Structure 1
Amino acid sequence: MPPSDEDAAGSALFDEIARQGAGVRRAALWSWIPGLLLVAVLLLAVSRFTELQHFVALASAADPRWLLLGLVAQALTYLCAGGVWWLSLKHAGYRMRLAGFASLGLGKLFVDQALPTGGASGTLLVAASLRNRGVPLRIAFFAMLVGLFSYYAAYLTAAIASFAIIWTSHRMGAALASAFAVFAVVALFIPLAVIAIKSVSARFIPGWLRRRPTVRIVLMEMAEAPLFELMSLPLFLGAFGFQLAVILLDAATLWLAFRSIGVDVDPFVAFAGMVAGSIGATIGPAPLGLGTYEASAVAVMSILGIPVAPSLTAVVVFRGLSFWLPMLPGLWFSRRELGRSAHRA
């Protein structure tokens, strides 16, 4: 990219980052309230069933030793998520420390929840953070695209494995099969749409959508990201391995949540429940996947023979470890990076 184009993209990025910084400061508290209310409504609704009246007893008796192992597993997920970007930048000739990328994953998680734009806000935060570290925007967005393709490939693989687990138990109903089919379409459509935009043109995107600052910056850099020039099979397989490790660590965290409340479940059941929850959050209408994640995970594990009470308890514990607890460090990191970007701008 010529210097003028890089500067123009950088200026647009920092303008949008400054706007997002104000949004993060406003959303830091308010973004938590709807989620907490939705979870509270879900717990209140299910607590009316006789089978679930010992839910609080199960949660209060959770063994902290298993919860600590769950925290370790979640910490490793952020290291693996950062490993995708680390590997992509290393492939592009930018060698950086792997440990430094874990905090990027935390910041992206918070911004995506505080400013829900389908992941675009978090992507811009990571791109700006990499640029603060001397990485050109076109290379930063190349790393983002590698992460996008490997993410959907890993989750599609996990969805197929979960489908097989449920199918072999002879409990695959039409509703579950439809949900898996919809997710498969989404997982294939998004990467193919990105390839089509890069290969053809972005002029087919509606004007009202192109005028959005976030979309404009993403399209600007997507067009310049050297995806076809730098992508290779070893790079994709390495990134795919990191993404698959994140999924397996999340499933392990859910299994550890079960163990913390004294319930021993098959690891394959925990894996299928975790993947089903992610699918429900992706294709469900609820913001942040709240309610849809819990309901989907509990439904699948109930189908596989786990009672509703321990399933719901374990899922709520898992969501606390993987979703709510990382918000505080994510808030700190995102505000720090947004501040650096504003200072640089």
Structure 2
Amino acid sequence: MSLASLWRGVLRHIGWVLGLAVIAIVVGAVLRIGDLHAFATMLEDAHPGWLLVALALQATTYASVAAGWKIVLGQTGTPQPLRRLYPIAVGKLFADQVIPVAGMGGNMFLVDQLTALGVKRGNAVATLLVAMIGFYAVYGVCALAMLATLWISGLASIWIAGFVLVFLVVATVIPGLALWIRRRGRRPLSPALARFASTRSLVAIIGEAPKRLLVDRRLIVRVAGVNGLVFLADAASLMVCFLALGQPVGFSVAFVAVMTASMIATLGPIPLGLGTFEAGATGMLALMGVSVEAALAATLLLRVFTLWLPLVPGFVLIRTALRAKTASLPR
């Protein structure tokens, strides 16, 4: 399955419509409950200085993701400078969020871009897998930290604990499945699995990864560490968005809200987490004593920095990559 065919799938994707409908329902419901004038006033009076800080914080998240790849590539003997990996991180976000092929869009984009930089395909696949394992490992740790914070605050419940447990299972299964596929090698798939093009593509690329990198625990811990900075920067960004609105909250409150919303968006079926992220963050913030109007306003500001702004350069990078790939094909 080529990146071009994945891109064509975007045009047929109806998840955008569903996602936009959900976010419209969420925003409309909250505005009916809250004070529309207060909500609008907070957005209009947002302090631009704090918004610049939020933008800078979000810029560091892509540097953190790229740094994880840089660490792995250094172990493969094909190191790459951060300045070359940074735009790939931005483009991968767009592909992950928009190209709806079982999460394969961003992964194949990463492998294609690394091989274009001269990295052997097997090493590029290993970079992808180690980064995936490190990401979900620290994701699980942050989820447990969120639950512990709620427990200490007296806000934890059996339902929240159950939700975190479900997420931890998913966070374990995803990298575990990738490792299982790598272990089984390139043996033929069962007829049931072979019917899915995305599964065939996944098996094909994972089978090329060098095993030594996938079992290097020290390497995985280092990659997990830099990926953990992404969650901390997202929480700090939400805290800064509250400061921009003149409604300060503590870092722990912002961290819990971001983690809850991220997990809901990860488990949910809506592309880009439209509606689900906003509802999760706003609901958790309200549970922790933040006014609904301020919670929604800050969450929407955060989404501008974490989702909407990066989609523009991401789209440009994906189009550039597709044109370069198309131009290299034999006529």
Note whether the superposition's TM-score is higher than 0.5.
yes
Q: Which residue of 1 aligns with 2:146?
A: 162
**Contact map agreement 1:163 1:180 (CA 8 A) in 2:** yes
**Contact map agreement 1:23 1:115 (CA 8 A) in 2:** yes
Q: Which residue of 2 aligns with 1:4?
A: none
Q: Which residue of 1 aligns with 2:94?
A: 110
Gaps of 5+ in 1: 1-14
Q: Which residue of 1 aligns with 2:315?
A: 331
C-alpha displacement of 1:62 = 1.0
- What does 1:108-147 align with in structure 2 at a 5 Å threshold? 108-147=92-131
C-alpha displacement of 1:107 = 0.8
Gaps of 5+ in 2: none
Q: Output the TM-score relative to the length of structure 2.
A: 0.92
Task: Give the 3 Å change call, closer, same or farther, for CA 31–325 of structure 1 in structure 2.
Answer: farther
Corresponding residue to 2:270 among 286, 290, 309: 286
Give the paired residue count. Answer: 329
Tell me the SS of whatever aligns to 1:263.
coil
CA distance in 2, matches of 1:204, 1:271: 44
CA distance in 2, matches of 1:331, 1:221: 24
Task: Give the 3 Å change call, closer, same or farther, for CA 62–163 of structure 1 in structure 2.
Answer: same
CA distance in 2, matches of 1:274, 1:238: 23
C-alpha displacement of 1:203 = 6.4
Q: Which amino acid aligns with 1:326?
A: P
Question: Does 1:188 pair with 2:172?
Answer: yes
Tell me the SS of whatever aligns to 2:60.
helix
**Contact map agreement 2:70 2:80 (CA 8 A) in 1:** yes
Tell me the SS of whatever aligns to 2:173.
helix
C-alpha displacement of 1:174 = 2.4
Q: Which residue of 2 aligns with 1:272?
A: 256
Question: Does 1:16 pair with 2:2?
Answer: yes
**Contact map agreement 1:31 1:114 (CA 8 A) in 2:** no
Corresponding residue to 1:212 among 188, 196, 209: 196
Q: Which amino acid aligns with 2:41?
A: A
Tell me the SS of whatever aligns to 1:252.
helix
CA distance in 1, matches of 2:215, 2:270: 35
Q: Which amino acid aligns with 1:75?
A: A
C-alpha displacement of 1:344 = 2.4
**Contact map agreement 1:71 1:321 (CA 8 A) in 2:** yes
Task: Give the 3 Å change call, closer, same or farther, for CA 268–248 of structure 1 in structure 2.
Answer: same
Q: Which residue of 2 aligns with 1:322?
A: 306
CA distance in 2, matches of 1:19, 1:286: 21
Question: Does 1:226 pair with 2:210?
Answer: yes
Q: Which residue of 2 aligns with 1:3?
A: none
Q: Which amino acid aligns with 2:29?
A: A
Question: Does 1:87 pair with 2:94?
Answer: no
C-alpha displacement of 1:220 = 1.2
CA distance in 2, matches of 1:21, 1:171: 43
Task: Give the 3 Å change call, closer, same or farther, for CA 111–208 of structure 1 in structure 2.
Answer: farther
C-alpha displacement of 1:217 = 2.4
Task: Give the 3 Å change call, closer, same or farther, for CA 275–335 of structure 1 in structure 2.
Answer: same
Q: Please give the per-residue CA displacement for 1:216-255, whole angstroms capped at 9, x wherever unaligned.
A: 2221121120133564233212211110011111111111
CA distance in 2, matches of 1:244, 1:166: 19
Q: Which residue of 2 aligns with 1:10?
A: none
Corresponding residue to 2:291 among 304, 307, 323: 307
CA distance in 1, matches of 2:246, 2:211: 48
- What does 1:62-73 align with in structure 2 at a 5 Å threshold? 62-73=46-57
Q: Please give the per-residue CA displacement for 1:27-61, whole angstroms capped at 9, x wherever unaligned.
A: 79x87665444323321121111456522221121
Q: Please give the per-residue CA displacement for 1:280-303, whole angstroms capped at 9, x wherever unaligned.
A: 111223332111111111222222
- What does 1:30-109 align with in structure 2 at a 5 Å threshold? 34-51=18-35, 54-109=38-93
Q: Which amino acid aligns with 2:207?
A: A
Q: Please give the per-residue CA displacement for 1:138-165, whole angstroms capped at 9, x wherever unaligned.
A: 1111000011100101110100110000
Q: Considering only aligned residues, what root-mean-square deviation do their CA atoms show, in Å?
A: 2.2
Task: Give the 3 Å change call, closer, same or farther, for CA 258–73 of structure 1 in structure 2.
Answer: same
Q: Which residue of 2 aligns with 1:238?
A: 222
Identity in percent: 32
Q: Which amino acid aligns with 1:213?
A: A
